[in-house]
A and B are shown apart, each in its own frame.
Chain A
Amino acid sequence: DAKTTQPTSMDCAEGRAANLPCNHSTISGNEYVYWYRQIHSQGPQYIIHGLKNNETNEMASLIITEDRKSSTLILPHATLRDTAVYYCIVAGGSQGNLIFGKGTKLSVKP
């Protein structure tokens, strides 16, 4: 599976949009981009995933560049409860497994 690069940590003010970047320059054609988050002491939680089109759900939006080499997860109005480690993962559509990296520790501050 392709590797991803994410910043180690980010801060965001409560109520503002949190934009979390991810680079995946070696992604192949059949690999999806997945985002999960892990709030302290809990299991990882699925957020969103996409192949090449932008995606939106009730939790977040996923913007994937046209060349698919990078993506951005957007939390439109961050709250204190969004403080967590966010993982960007690329994995194949057939039997690719989710391999977690170190993620980005997002701290939402009042």
Chain B
Amino acid sequence: DAGVIQSPRHEVTEMGQEVTLRCKPISGHDYLFWYRQTMMRGLELLIYFNNNVPIDDSGMPEDRFSAKMPNASFSTLKIQPSEPRDSAVYFCASSPRGQGVRYGYTFGSGTRLTVV
């Protein structure tokens, strides 16, 4: 089991550019979560999916952010256009079948995004 795989590990981009973060959840996990972590705000839940369907995106900061899950083994978080305040570590997590919160989430190693 390779765990939750995120790519890239580090991303440096210029303000205004499009950024795409990728996540491969653990096989068989039907919940997928995107979190963002900054020093100021800590870990924030951005959006989560159940069976590839977005359930709650109320944490997405603004329309520049979008997330998709085209199949059970892949999700993307896109920022277009990116801004310096989007600089953060973005984590993806997955959780197994059933009522997600009763099972531990497995987090990926994160993508450190720097927007200059």
How many A-B pairs fall under 8 Å by CB? Answer: 53
Interface centre among A43, A49, A93, by most chain B C-beta atoms within 10 angstroms, is: A43
Contact B101 A97 (CB under 8 A): yes
By a CB distance below 8 angstroms, the chain A residues around B56 are 97
> Does A92 have its Cβ within 8 Å of any Cβ on chain B?
yes
Which residues 94-110 of A sit at the B interface, judged by CB distance below 8 A?
A: 94-102
> Does A91 have its Cβ within 8 Å of any Cβ on chain B?
yes
Q: Is the interface of B mostly helix, strand, loop or mixed?
A: strand
A32→B110 CA distance, assembly (Å): 26
Q: Of B4, B101, B106, B109, which is within 8 A of A96 by CB?
A: B101
- Interface residue stretch chosen among B11-19, B42-50, B60-68, B69-77: B42-50
Q: Of A42, A46, A100, which is within 8 A of B109 by CB?
A: A42
Interface centre among A34, A93, A95, A98, by most chain B C-beta atoms within 10 angstroms, is: A98
A34→B103 CA distance, assembly (Å): 10
Contact flag A45-B101 (CB < 8 Å), given A98-B45, A99-B45: no
> Does A21 have its Cβ within 8 Å of any Cβ on chain B?
no
Given A92-B101, A99-B45, 11 further pairs, Cβ under 8 A: A42-B109, A43-B4, A43-B108, A46-B104, A49-B102, A94-B101, A95-B55, A95-B101, A98-B33, A100-B42, A102-B42
